[in-house]
């Protein structure tokens, strides 16, 4: 992907069963493909979106509704060669928008990479609320704990 390409060429679509190999390939680039595992027992494709560029899955994002007003994000990753073009933002905004429409107020996210945590804080209104140890190697292998972040979707929608 060159810098002249833009997120405009990318389609954000509900994930389909046929996308699973492409989704796993994206997740593997971030060491997030261990499914099922204690960290990710399952990944519900009915609650996931893919970013598609020229028919290829280049990104994936999921969510899980926990109660009437709370949800958590599940996996999010973009192929390394497609990063820094706004695709991650499109995926994150899509799941936030869908959850907002469902009446969800609080969205929580576990993240490990400092740059990703900073990205969530900078663009999506997240604040750090805690941390928890990883159950096994998953994601960034040099980081042994998840930082838990939360954002208020009602506030985010108004911004
Ligand atoms: C986190 C992740 C999904 C972000 O995906 P992405 O497609 O790179 O996200 P974006 O392009 O929207 O934003 C990333 C950066 O690129 C910048 N950017 C966006 N479009 C750009 C463009 N056209 N040119 C230059 N930079 C651009 C954004 O401003 C942002 O930088 P900033 O945080 O300094 O402001 C991706 O880095 C990833 O897969 N990381 C590894 C897995 C991971 O950590 N997943 C999250 C687990 S919770």
Per-residue DSSP letters for the chain?
--TT--GGGPEEEE--GGGHHHHHHHHHTTT----SSSS-S---GGGEEEEEETTEEEEEEEEEE-SSSEEEEEEEEE-GGG-SSSHHHHHHHHHHHHHHHTT--EEEEEE--HHHHHHHHHHH--EEEEEEE-SSS-SSTT--EEEEEEEEHHHHHH-
Query: How far does residue 80's CA lie from ligand 1's centre (Å)?
Result: 10
Position 158 scores a pLDDT of 66
Residue 85 CB less than 6 A away from ligand 1: yes
Catalogue all structural domains in the chain, each as residue range(s) with its CATH number: 7-158 (3.40.630.30)
Position 1 scores a pLDDT of 52
Residue minimizing CA distance to atom 5 of ligand 1: 88
Position 8 scores a pLDDT of 73
Position 2 scores a pLDDT of 47
Position 5 scores a pLDDT of 55
State which residues of the chain have pLDDT below 50: 2-4
Ligand 1 nearest atom to the CA of residue 89, by list position: 12
């Amino acid at each position: 992907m060159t810098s002249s390409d833009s997120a405009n060429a990318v389609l954000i679509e509900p994930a389909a069963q046929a996308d699973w190999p492409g989704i796993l390939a994206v997740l593997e680039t971030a060491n997030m493909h261990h499914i099922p595992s204690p960290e990710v027992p399952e990944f519900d494709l009915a609650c996931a979106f893919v970013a598609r560029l020229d028919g290829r899955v280049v990104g994936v994002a999921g969510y899980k509704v926990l109660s009437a007003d709370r949800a958590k994000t599940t996996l999010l990753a973009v192929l390394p060669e497609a990063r820094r073009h706004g695709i991650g933002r499109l995926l994150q905004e899509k799941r936030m928008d869908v959850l907002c429409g469902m009446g969800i107020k609080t969205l929580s996210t576990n993240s490990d990479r400092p740059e990703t945590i900073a990205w969530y804080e900078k663009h999506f209104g997240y604040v750090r609320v805690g941390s928890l140890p990883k159950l096994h190697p998953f994601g960034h292998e040099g980081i042994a704990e998840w930082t838990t972040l939360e954002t208020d979707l009602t506030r985010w929608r108004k911004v």
